[in-house]
């Protein structure tokens, strides 16, 4: 069996695709992270992956600068961790295959700062939801998109993959998300009404739920909206609604989660509705939504002061 590092990487990526069911995008990211590690840490064989080579690579990552239009900045700790996670998963694969290399459990992730959430107020959400002009087919489509995003907390890629043949007689449908995992999402009354009104005006036979409505867009061209198109649609209506802060489909997903938690939903249920594999991902929302702690503070703090 070849222990050439690039042959092992190829087998590892095939393992991710076939046995772990990872998406093509995830596999491409692992390929990029590992190739970057092999090149900059001078890895040729599994035995080259050791405490010294990993330590040197971590130092290299920490000193990396990324160019932006606004200037240069160091690689964020969160981004550094993506590379380290790829190395750990690769090493676990090698261990499973009986190939001697560094112990993956010895690779600690960088301590990243707490994540800041971009959120919209309920007033901003209401303005965004009412911004589309429903006198046109595009307006009906765009209102249905925004209502559906807020009703379900769908990722933009999940929304774009939907078929128009979802059963609107029910208030729920299944969606295939990250890691090819299926979960159930639920339609609000407003979202269901908006989708029905949009589909009632459609005269095409396209399978996609949300498509581009432009004259001359036919033939072999795929009319399904892309994630980038949906991002532009949301940004357009945010400007129209006078919302100056960041507004994206993912911000609406954040708002979906915080709305549930603020109204008393438990964290496990929100985890399931968002399709998070680990509850730690969902817990980023709790520090901005824990009304119970706020009420305890108001009720009990400072009672002995005169």
Annotated active-site positions, please? 155, 178, 250, 253, 276, 285
Q: Kind and range of the H or E element at 65?
A: strand 65-68
Rounded CA separation 142/19 (Å)? 38
- Rounded-to-integer distance, Cα 250 and Cα 153, Å: 8
Long-range Cβ contacts of 143-147 (<8 Å, 24+ apart): 143/194, 143/198, 144/191, 144/194, 144/195, 144/197, 144/198, 144/210, 145/210, 145/230, 145/233, 145/234, 146/234, 146/237, 146/252, 147/188, 147/190, 147/191, 147/194, 147/195
What is the distance, to the nearest Å, from the Cα of residue 196 to the centroid of all Cα atoms in its chain?
27
Distances (CA, A) of 55 to 51, 62, 109, 228: 6, 11, 12, 38
* Interacting residues of 107 by C-beta distance below 8 A, sequence separation 6+: 54, 84, 87, 88, 91
Q: Where are the alpha helices (DSSP H) in 41-136?
A: 51-62, 77-96, 122-129
């Amino acid at each position: 069996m070849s222990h050439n590092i690039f042959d092992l990487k190829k087998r590892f990526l095939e393992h991710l695709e076939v046995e772990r069911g990872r998406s093509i995008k995830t596999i491409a990211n692992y390929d990029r992270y590992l190739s970057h590690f092999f090149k900059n840490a001078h890895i040729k064989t599994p035995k080259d992956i050791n405490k010294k080579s990993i330590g040197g690579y971590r130092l290299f990552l920490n000193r990396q600068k990324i160019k932006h239009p606004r200037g240069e900045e160091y690689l964020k700790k969160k981004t550094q961790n993506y590379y380290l996670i790829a190395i750990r998963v690769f090493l676990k694969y090698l261990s499973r295959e009986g190939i001697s290399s560094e112990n993956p459990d010895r690779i600690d992730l960088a301590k990243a700062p707490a994540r800041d959430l971009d959120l919209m107020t309920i007033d901003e959400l209401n303005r965004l939801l009412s911004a589309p002009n429903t006198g046109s087919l595009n307006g009906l489509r765009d209102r249905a998109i925004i209502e559906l995003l807020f009703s379900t907390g769908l990722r933009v890629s999940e929304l774009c993959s939907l078929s128009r043949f979802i059963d609107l007689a029910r208030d729920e449908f299944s969606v295939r998300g990250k890691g090819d995992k299926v979960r159930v999402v639920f339609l609000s009354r407003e979202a269901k009404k908006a989708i029905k009104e949009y589909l009632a005006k459609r005269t095409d036979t396209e399978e996609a739920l949300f498509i581009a409505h432009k004259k001359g867009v036919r033939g072999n061209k795929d009319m399904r909206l892309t994630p980038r198109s949906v991002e532009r649609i949301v940004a357009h209506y945010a400007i129209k609604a006078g919302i100056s802060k960041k507004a994206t489909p993912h911000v609406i997903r954040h708002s979906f989660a915080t709305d549930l938690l603020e109204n008393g939903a438990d964290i496990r249920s929100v985890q399931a509705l968002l399709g998070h594999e680990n509850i730690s991902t969902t817990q980023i929302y709790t520090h901005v939504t824990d009304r119970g702690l706020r009420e305890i503070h108001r009720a009990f703090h400072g009672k002995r002061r005169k």
